[in-house]
Amino acid sequence: MPFSYFHGNSATIDLVRSMLARDRMPHAVIIAGPEASGKYMLAQMIAKAMNCQNPSLTGEPDFCGQCENCREIAEADDLEARFAEAVETRDGLRETDKKETRILVQSHPDVLIIPPDPPQMMIKVDQVRHVIGQIYKKPRKGDHAVYIFTDSAFMKEAANSLLKILEEPPEFATIFLLTTNPGEFLPTIRSRCITVQLAPLSVAEIEDYLTKRRPEWNATTRGLVARLCGGACGKAATFDLERYSAARKDALTLLGSAVNSDDHSPLFRMTETYRAGAEGKEKTDQLLRASYSVLEDLLFLKEGSPKLVRNSDILPELNRLAAGVDFQWITSAAARLHEVESGMRRNVLRSLSLDALATGLEK
Distance of CA 222 to the CA centre of its chain: 21
| Tens digit of each residue's pLDDT (9 = 90 or more) over 269-306 | 777 777 666 666 788 889 889 999 999 999 999 999 99
Is the pLDDT at 27 greater than 80, yes or no?
Answer: yes
pLDDT reported for residue 347: 52
SS3 content of the chain, % helix, strand, coil (to 5): 55, 10, 35
Stretch (H or E) spanning 176: strand 173-179
**Single-letter amino acid, residue 160:** N
- pLDDT band, very low/low/confident/very high, at 93 (cuts 50, 70, 90): very high
Nearest to 179 by CA among 339, 63, 35, 53: 35
Name which residue leads in pLDDT, 7 or 338. Answer: 7
Distance of CA 214 to the CA centre of its chain: 21
Is residue 153 within 8 A of residue 184, CB to CB? The reply is yes
| Tens digit of each residue's pLDDT (9 = 90 or more) over 102-122 | 999 999 999 999 999 998 889
Q: At what angle do helices 350-360 and 277-302 cross, to 10 degrees?
A: 20
The number of beta carbons lying within 10 Å of the beta carbon of residue 129 is 14
Q: Mention every residue, 6+ apart, whose C-beta is less than 8 A from residue 308.
A: 300
Per-residue DSSP letter, 306: G
CA max distance for the chain? 71
- pLDDT band, very low/low/confident/very high, at 186 (cuts 50, 70, 90): very high
Is the pLDDT at 189 greater than 80, yes or no?
Answer: yes
pLDDT reported for residue 16: 95
Is the pLDDT at 143 greater than 90, yes or no?
Answer: no
- Of the ranges 160-164, 167-171, 338-342, the best mean pLDDT one: 160-164
**Residue 193 φ/ψ, nearest 5 degrees:** -125, 160
CA-based radius of gyration for the chain: 23
From residue 323, give the alpha-carbon distance in Å to each of 257, 308, 345.
Answer: 14, 17, 34
Is residue 32 within 8 A of residue 179, CB to CB? The reply is yes
